[in-house]
């Protein structure tokens, strides 16, 4: 029986698997920088996350009677795992990663229908849930950045010592967790500003928050993710709309408010190069499944995330805001898609409005 098969017959230029793999690869510069700055904990996190992600993915696929090999090969779980791994505090205990990946893969992704069907960004669902459930662990296990270690007489951990701590919560004799960790620059600035305990200038003077561009240590991680992101954009893996509008909005808002109250508002550069800004702009907000898809929709989506990041960072209860901003905009994506449909060739500009009116 002849079965009609439609054109086109040219080999497709890209596959989901390849796309996910390339995106993951382009995170490597950022990941390496993070390992340099925050120690081996980042590496351990990522490896644990990958193991948990693939295991959870395989188990749920099996329970859902889906072809396991096909969907493991798509490498979307790998990308989620790397994002979570790099977003978690570097000295996070293993169970934090475990719980995070459970929520990301099982709840946020597979229970919604698996690849392509989740409404919310799995990595950010995991991060938000962990942040709400385990606020202490999520904020205190940040190893002091390498740049500050000597200044604060902090000790660093070897790879084995890191593994030992993360898996069995055992530190080498004579070390305390307090000596190893310190608050992140965003946290320091937010706490100081909210409590009114110090002005920006005073924090500057202390030298434990501001680097050359943004937060000390994190600025380098951000730069590396920016490089990877720009390369992705150049390669056409992501469109410019979301990252550019996100960064522009964040920069504009911090400039706007910063110029009113110089004392309590860090500079736009600090916002752009601290915390997970670049990771969020290029690798998290651009997650295709949960983002808006129309050109105008993507600009609004990115701008919304940028604005929410600034709002939550400045007035909210958490030091960084990528997760909440992204999740809130995820909810808006379908609506954005609906109201920002491009004008189709040969149609009048206001046709859709007419249809709705009638």
Partner 1 sequence: MSQPLPASITRTIKDTLRHLWSFPGGIKLSGHKSLSNHQPISTAKIAKQLIIPLSQHIGHASEPIVKVGDKVLKGQILGYASGPVSAPVHASGSGTVVAIEEHLIPHPSGLSALCVFIDTDGYEQWIECSPLISDSSSTDDNQEAVTHRSIATLSSHQINQQIANAGVVGLGGALYPSAAKLNTAEKMHADTLIINAAECEPYITCDDVLMRQRPEEVILGILLLKKVIGAKKCLIGIENNKPEAYQALLNTISGYNNSHTDAQIEIVQVPTLYPAGGEKQLIQVLTGREVPSQGLPMDIGIICHNVATAAAVYHAVYRGEPLISRIVTITGSAIKQPQNMEVPLGTPIRDILNQAGLDENKVEKIIMGGPMMGFSLPSIDTPVTKATNCILVSEKSELATPPPAMPCIRCARCSDSCPMSLLPQQMYWYAKARDLEKVQDYNIFDCIECGCCSYVCPSNIPLVQYFRYAKTEIWDDERERNKANIARDRHEFRKERLEKAKQAKAEAARLRKEKLAKKKALDAEQAKEKEGLSQSNDNPAKSSSADLIQEAIARAKAKKAQQQSQKKNTDNLSEAQQKKIDEVNERRRKKADSEEI
Partner 2 sequence: MLFGILAFIALASVFGLVLGYAAIAFKVESSPVVEQIDALLPQTQCGQCSFAGCHPYAEAIAAGEAPINLCPPGGENLIQSLADLLDVEVLPMDDEEDSLQGPTVAIIIEETCIGCTLCIQACPVDAILGAAKQMHTVIESECTGCELCVAPCPVDCIEMIPVKQTVKNWRWPEPQYNANNKEAESIFTTLDHVLAENIRP
Residue 205 structure tokens: 């003077």
Q: Please give the residues from 258 up to 287 whose contact with partner 2 meets the rule CB under 8 A.
A: none
Please name which of 122, 20, 115 lies closest in space to residue 327, comparing C-alpha atoms. 122
Near partner 2 by CB under 8 A, which window of 11-19, 49-57, 175-183, 331-339? 331-339
Distance between CA atoms of 145 and 123, rounded to whole angstroms?
A: 24
Q: Which is nearer to partner 2, 70 or 160 (CB)?
A: 70
Q: Which residues contact 339 (CB under 8 A, 6 or more apart)?
A: 297
Distance between CA atoms of 233 and 281, rounded to whole angstroms?
A: 12
Residue 250 structure tokens: 């964040």
Near partner 2 by CB under 8 A, which window of 61-69, 140-148, 206-214, 313-321? 61-69
**Residue 328 interacts with partner 2 (CB under 8 A): yes or no:** no
Q: Which is nearer to partner 2, 18 or 36 (CB)?
A: 18
Q: Which residues contact 197 (CB under 8 A, 6 or more apart)?
A: 191
**Residue 344 interacts with partner 1 (CB under 8 A): yes or no:** yes
- List Cα–Cα distances, 345 to 68, 205, 348, 351, in angstroms: 41, 58, 8, 12
Q: Please give the residues from 239 up to 298 whose contact with partner 1 meets the rule CB under 8 A.
A: 239, 288-289, 291, 293-295, 298
Q: How far is the CB of 337 from partner 2 (least distance, A)?
A: 5
**Residue 338 interacts with partner 2 (CB under 8 A): yes or no:** yes
Q: How far is the CB of 66 from partner 2 (least distance, A)?
A: 5
Q: Which of 25, 116, 133, 169 binds partner 1 (CB under 8 A)?
A: 116
Q: Which of 160, 202, 347, 353 binds partner 1 (CB under 8 A)?
A: 347
Three-state SS at 341: coil
The 287-316 contact track toward partner 1, x by CB under 8 A, reads -xx-x-xxx--x------------------
**Residue 119 interacts with partner 2 (CB under 8 A): yes or no:** yes
Is the separation of the CB atoms in 190 and 265 below 8 Å?
no
From partner 2, partner 1, none, interface partner of 315 (C-beta below 5 to 8 A by class): none
Q: Please give the residues from 69 up to 108 whose contact with partner 1 meets the rule CB under 8 A.
A: 70, 74, 76
Q: Which of 28, 63, 113, 235 binds partner 2 (CB under 8 A)?
A: 113
Q: Which residues contact 256 (CB under 8 A, 6 or more apart)?
A: none
CA 64 to chain CA centroid, Å, is 28
**Residue 205 interacts with partner 1 (CB under 8 A): yes or no:** no
Three-state SS at 74: coil
Q: Which residues contact 65 (CB under 8 A, 6 or more apart)?
A: none
Residues that bind partner 2 (CB under 8 A): 3-4, 6, 65-67, 70, 113, 117, 119, 334-335, 337-338
């Amino acid at each position: 029986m002849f079965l009609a098969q439609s054109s086109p017959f040219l080999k497709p230029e890209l596959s989901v698997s390849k796309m996910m793999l390339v995106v993951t690869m382009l995170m490597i510069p950022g990941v390496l920088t993070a390992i340099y700055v925050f120690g081996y904990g980042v590496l351990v996190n990522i490896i644990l996350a990958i193991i948990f992600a693939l295991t959870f993915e395989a188990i749920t696929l099996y329970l859902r009677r889906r072809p396991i090999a096909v969907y493991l090969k798509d490498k979307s779980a790998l990308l989620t795992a790397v994002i979570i791994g790099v977003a978690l505090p570097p000295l996070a205990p293993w169970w934090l990663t475990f719980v995070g990946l459970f929520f990301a893969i099982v709840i946020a992704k597979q229970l919604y229908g698996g690849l392509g069907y989740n409404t919310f960004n799995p990595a950010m669902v995991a991060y938000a849930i962990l942040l709400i459930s385990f606020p202490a662990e999520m904020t205190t296990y940040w190893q002091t950045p390498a740049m500050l270690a000597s200044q604060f007489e902090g000790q660093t951990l070897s790879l084995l010592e890191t593994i030992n701590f993360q898996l069995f919560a055992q530190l080498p004799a004579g070390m305390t967790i307090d000596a190893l960790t310190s608050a992140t620059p965003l946290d320091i600035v937010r706490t100081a500003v909210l409590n009114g305990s110090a002005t920006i200038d005073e924090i500057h003077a202390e030298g434990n928050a501001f680097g050359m561009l943004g937060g000390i240590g994190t600025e380098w991680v951000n730069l590396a993710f920016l490089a990877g992101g720009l390369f992705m954009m150049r390669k056409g893996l992501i469109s410019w709309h979301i990252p550019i509008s996100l960064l522009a909005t964040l920069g504009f808002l911090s400039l706007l408010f910063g110029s009113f109250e110089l004392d309590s508002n860090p500079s736009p550069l600090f916002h752009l190069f601290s915390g997970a800004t670049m990771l969020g702009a290029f690798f998290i907000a651009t997650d295709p499944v949960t983002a808006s898809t129309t050109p105008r929709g993507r600009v609004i989506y990115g701008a919304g995330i940028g604005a929410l990041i600034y709002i939550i960072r400045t007035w909210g209860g958490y030091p960084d805001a990528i997760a909440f901003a992204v999740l809130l905009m995820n909810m808006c994506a379908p609506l954005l898609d609906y109201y920002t449909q491009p004008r189709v060739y040969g149609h009048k500009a206001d046709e859709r409005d007419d249809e709705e009116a009638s």
